[in-house]
Amino acid sequence: MVKPPGIWSDAHVIDSLRAWLLPETQRRTLDNLTDDLDLRAGDARSKLSAYWTLLTLSSMIAGAGVLADSTATVIGAMIIAPLSTPIMGTALGLVKGDRRTKALRYAVAGAVVVVAIGVLFALLIPAEYDLRANSQVTGRVTPGLFDLIAAASTGLAGAVALARKDIAAVLPGVAISISLVPPLVVVGICIGQGAGLMAAGALLLFLSNLIALVLAGTFVFAFLGYAEASRGRARGATRRARVVLATLFLVVSVPLAITSLVSLYVTQLDHRATSTTEAWLASVPDASVTSAGLALPDFVIEIKTPGDLPPTNTLRADLREVLPAGLNVVLVTTIGDRVDLGEMP
């Protein structure tokens, strides 16, 4: 049977996919989206009051959760954090070609406030506080490519949810905010503790997530037809902004990809060192390796042992086969011994 001409055209496929993602009966109007995402639209005073109040409180909750190393508390901060509103408002402004939008300014100003609150929280802890022992910190200072993929996916899902009437408006806000406030609080805490490199890592996580969210939101809003609904407005600036965003997305992808590869390599080293050390401990009853990994400038292997260890020269010879040259290896035992095996030859 001959198919009607044009039924499988690109335009038909796009229209069908658009209708599937956003049925006409569930479509929210451009004015509806603008009212939700533009902090200056409608009752701007009330919107801004709620924005700054919730942002401050969510930052304080996140700061307390990070320093207490409490995942549940940090999640509580994610739930009420309002940073997603100006971020998705920026995406909608790009689609509309609205050069007057100040959504990104509110997002940046909000980020500065969150970092400042993080710095204040850092004043509450002693200078010798070990940030590397806090999982809420370490989980956000070494971002990888998967974090970028997760942020982009969240932005896609959030924009679709915002455009539909039948999905709760709070869903995209909660999902998107997960990637925003906690890293910024960690930036402030690390700055307050003088950990510049860790602060830079957390800031990279925030910036990559911010760019991914805006780019994903812009793509979805444009694909769903909101660009056509705002025809007649300036388009040149919008196209330039999208090009800049896409470029920034690629730029941040490079260090994230490198970080991911380094993390994979370090994980392999940890596994090799653990296996080698466990084989070395086989003759010691009830002895085991509790952890192995980089704790710059050393590679630290922590051992649980009820008594004396086998000759460490044997372990050093075995580790030189699986660890790179120049890496200084230290053994730490539960009975209080610290053995420096020296640099791997």
pLDDT at 1: 46
Q: Are 277 and 303 in contact (CB under 8 A)?
A: yes
* Burial class of residue 254, CB neighbours in 10 A (0-12, 13-18, 19+): exposed
Domain residue ranges in the chain: 10-234, 268-343
Of 57 and 345, more confident: 57
pTM: 0.77
Residue 173 in this model has a pLDDT that exceeds 90? no
CA 338/CA 238 separation, integer angstroms:
60
Model confidence over 30-81: pLDDT tens digits? 888 888 898 988 888 999 999 999 999 999 999 999 999 999 999 888 888 8
Q: Which residues contact 257 (CB under 8 A, 6 or more apart)?
A: 144, 145
The continuous run of DSSP H or E covering 106 comes out as helix 103-122
Residue 309, classed as helix, strand or coil, is: coil
Range of weakest confidence among 8-17, 104-113, 194-203: 8-17
Are β-strands 338-343 and 328-333 bridged in parallel, bridged antiparallel, or unpaired? antiparallel
